[in-house]
Structure 1
Amino acid sequence: MSYINHLIKGVPYSHNKVRGSLGAADQWSQQVRLQSASLPRVKEACALRVTFLLPPDKFPADFPHGPDLDNLLKRFMDALNDTVFADTPGKDSCVVMLTAMKTRVASYADAGAHLEVLPVSVA
């Protein structure tokens, strides 16, 4: 397996929205699929690093630390199951080590998710 280092552009979402742009979460999943479709396919155990790059409006006063990281990961990894992890038995269960973080960026133009997938040797 080769090392994957890729920036997926767009605004990360976790749950489906109940107000505002109702289709935004599904559009994010579609962007993840579209922008990761040409990446190498993982076929063995790997380590995953993800940094979610979130615009300022993802940090409202009542959620000053932004959306739940586990929920951002769930939607993101489910989308990768259709691309990067599609050929792996058990799909994203091949991830044996995970590092994830979220950070604020200046604008929607800077938003996205930085993805790294590293091969690991499992004895």
Structure 2
Amino acid sequence: MDPSGAKAGEKVTVAAPDAGCNPRYGDNARIQVIVTDATGAEVVNTTAPMNDAGGFTYTFEVPARTAAGDAAVTAMPYNIDWCDDTGRNNRADGAAVTLLGASCAPPTKPLGITR
């Protein structure tokens, strides 16, 4: 995320490189970006394009209504069961796969909001 702090009206870019594990998200994959301000209010909740390997870049303008303080920015694949507890990969189309344990905590980064 760049920058790690901003004021209302300034632009913030959230990005991730392609994953090294071939997640196969598909041609129409989306990333969901949620920004929650210091009061707990969601000030951004949108989706943006993500490539098949999970890479994306999304830029947003900090809304005027965003409270000053520590905001949280979360970005994760949209409409995908990315933490499947059934013991099978729900995107592998029946292919035999070895699953590794993973954290189901949403990936969140802090964003300092100032006036």
TM-score by length of 2: 0.30
TM-score by length of 1: 0.29
Larger radius of gyration: 2
Q: Which of the two has greater helix per residue?
A: 1
Relative contact order, CA 8 A, sep 6+: which one is greater? 1
Q: Which of the two has greater strand per residue?
A: 2
